[in-house]
């Protein structure tokens, strides 16, 4: 009888080590394996001490452990995915801001800018404050017609930028 308990405990320990060392591609799979192994070991011990039902204790423990481990691992997978998504969004945002901030700016205040430049900067995602600063630093005077304003609005240019362009006529 004692040798059966020793054999069951040794086998459970071997299974736990094997599952722990091999793992899976996901935390859910790894958790299920580890949970099953640990549950089988613990179930075997409890089953052995409960009227010699080592095998049924191991089976029940493996099932409960596998389900519990899979649930915990699944939550860990979800948390990792959220972190990856957040990191990706931050990298996209940073890359976008670097690209937009790197949009060509007038080299000197005497450089003229055009309505086409304003639309291109807007399409590139350059911040309104940057565009307005470029308008203010240039010597360009915009005499916008209603059709020009509508074209700018249709291109997504903000009202603040259009207002800054119209204010150049007061120079």
Residue 1 has pLDDT above 70, yes or no: no
Question: Which has more confidence, 9 or 41?
Answer: 41
Claim: this prediction has a pTM higher than 0.85: no
Burial 84-110 (b: 16+ CB within 10 A, else e): eeeeeeeeeeeeeeeeeeebebbeeee
Coil, strand or helix: which one is 125?
coil
**Closest among 121, 129, 106, 133 to 157, alpha carbons compared:** 121
Among 102-116, 118-132, 155-169, the minimum mean pLDDT is found in 102-116
Report pLDDT for 156. 96
**Residue 118 neighbours by CB distance under 10 Å:** 23
Report pLDDT for 61. 78
- Separation of alpha carbons 140 and 169, rounded Å: 9
Residue 55 has pLDDT above 50, yes or no: yes
Mean per-residue pLDDT over the chain, rounded: 78
Report pLDDT for 165. 95
Q: What is the mean pLDDT of residues 101-128?
A: 77
- Separation of alpha carbons 81 and 85, rounded Å: 6
Q: Contact at 8 Å (CB) between 115 and 148?
A: yes
């Amino acid at each position: 009888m004692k040798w059966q308990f020793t054999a069951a405990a040794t086998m459970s320990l071997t299974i736990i080590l094997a599952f722990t060392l091999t793992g899976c591609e996901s935390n859910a799979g790894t958790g299920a394996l580890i949970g099953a192994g640990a549950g089988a070991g613990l179930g075997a011990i409890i089953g052995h001490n409960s009227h010699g039902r080592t095998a049924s204790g191991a089976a029940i423990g493996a099932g409960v452990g596998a389900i519990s481990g899979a649930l915990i691992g699944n939550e860990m997978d979800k948390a990792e995915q959220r972190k990856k998504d957040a990191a990706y969004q931050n990298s996209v945002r940073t890359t976008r801001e670097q690209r937009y901030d790197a949009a060509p700016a007038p080299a000197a205040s005497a450089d003229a800018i055009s309505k086409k430049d304003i639309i291109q900067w807007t399409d590139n995602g350059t911040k309104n404050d940057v565009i307005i600063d470029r308008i203010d630093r240039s010597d360009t005077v915009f005499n916008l017609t209603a059709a020009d304003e509508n074209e700018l609005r249709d291109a997504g240019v903000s009202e603040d930028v259009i207002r800054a362009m119209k204010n150049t006529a007061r120079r």
